[in-house]
Amino acid sequence: MEKLTERFVRYAKIDTQSNPESETCPSTEKQWKLANMLFQELKDMGMEDVTIDDNAYVMATLPSNTDADVPVIGFISHFDTSPDFTAEKVIPLFHENYDGGALILNKEKNIVLSPKDFKELNLYKGQTLITTDGTTLLGADDKAGVTEIMGAMEYLLEHPEIKHGKIRVGFNPDEEIGRGAHLFDVKKFGAQWAYTMDGGQIGELEYENFNAAGAKVNIKGISVHPGTAYKQMINSMLVANRFISLLPADQVPEKTQKYEGFFHLNHINGTVEDTELYYIIRDHDKKLFEEKKAIFLKTAETVNKEYGQNLVHVEMKDQYFNMKEKIEPNMHIIEIAEKAMKDVGVDPNIKAIRGGTDGAQLSFMGLPCPNIFAGGHNFHGKFEFIPVPSMEKAMEVIVKVAQLTVERYS
């Protein structure tokens, strides 16, 4: 436990926030610090074929120690953190033997993590929790996954009596801005299938995710002096408000759950003359996903007709698709992971992701890649936390998956 938490804290303290406005890969220079650290640590622990490319993708091999003809499998995590919340000067706090009450993260700013607001805290009474200090995110998404993979590889190297086939590991930048798999070299990785260690609560096993699109809405207005604005001014911010109001009010993240999709307005820039709206559009069902995109475009047409001119311009781009269609023909991948969880005392919770992972894109690139829990909660904000035992179990699942793959193919 001590070694696991030391590694996690060390990684969490490195600012690796990605930037969607950047056109480089990685999108921020600071991601290189952790990428280079992982590259060196993999070499130092005895992994083979350790590489880091010009875009900070890190890969390495744990050679097979069995004569059985076992498929090459992989484990993947991203090391960037969300652009939506600061990751500068992360200070992880430890709360041992959690008593089920409210946790004061920052007394000065009165920031409290309470089970009244986050009921999942009740699941972890008696455990050690790691939280933020209330001023940054924690970065368990996905430095917990990175930590668990690194820990599992080190454990397998130290315990050669545990038989496993060839295992590939990969760490990448920019997952949080939807680009984590864009430059991932699937052929070089060379695995038959892989798992992203990027899920949330302990037990999660996911092979369904949203179909996803991103949309930028640019709205033009006409600015004149407000004293002489009668029938001349067009306030682009009010036009934007009209656009927002026409989208289905009940199809937003805060009013949807499970398989329900949504339109999510996640950023606004506005003046009288020019307003930009940034949306993400999500649905698990491909037909409903296409319908949502059509609704979005139709909304722009409606507003333009109301104003009698083309004020609203939409740029829309598909981001990723539901990996279910690529995993279902390979359900042995899920069966192995499910059994691994049961064998180490974790109750599997097979569910759909209300989001996406690199695994979705990688699955469509020829590498079937479902998602296993990393253990964290409340990602992308100051109330993020992770129970230490959840990280330990995730590491155990990785080791057990390696063992079960040998057993299945021996």
- What's the CA gap between 94 and 88, in Å, rounded? 19
> Using an 8 Å Cβ cutoff, are 221 and 269 in contact?
no
Token pair recorded at residue 77: 């995590």
Query: C-alpha distances in angstroms, 388 versus 12, 95, 267?
Result: 14, 10, 34
CA distances 168 to 53, 75, 192, Å, are: 16, 7, 10
CB 64 within 8 A of CB 164: yes
80 as an active site residue: the answer is yes
Q: Report how far residue 56's alpha carbon sits from residue 39's, in angstroms, rounded to the nearest whole number.
A: 9
Residue in the structure block whose two tokens are 């009921």 = 119
Sheet strands (E) in 221-358: 262-270, 274-283, 312-320, 349-352
User: How many Å apart are CA 291 and CA 312, to the nearest integer?
Assistant: 20
Respond yes or no: is residue 175 known to be catalytic: yes
For residues 5 and 9, what is the distance between their CA atoms, to the nearest angstrom? Answer: 6
Query: Of 175, 176, 204, 392, which residue is the catalytic one?
Result: 175
CA dihedral (94, 378, 197, 199) in degrees, to 10, reads 140
- C-alpha 32/C-alpha 400 separation (Å) is 31
Joined together, the tokens standing for residue 368 give 């079937």
Residues 6 or more apart whose CB falls under 8 angstroms from that of 244 comprise 265, 277
Exactly one of 80, 142, 198, 204 is catalytic; which is it? 80
Catalytic positions? 80, 175
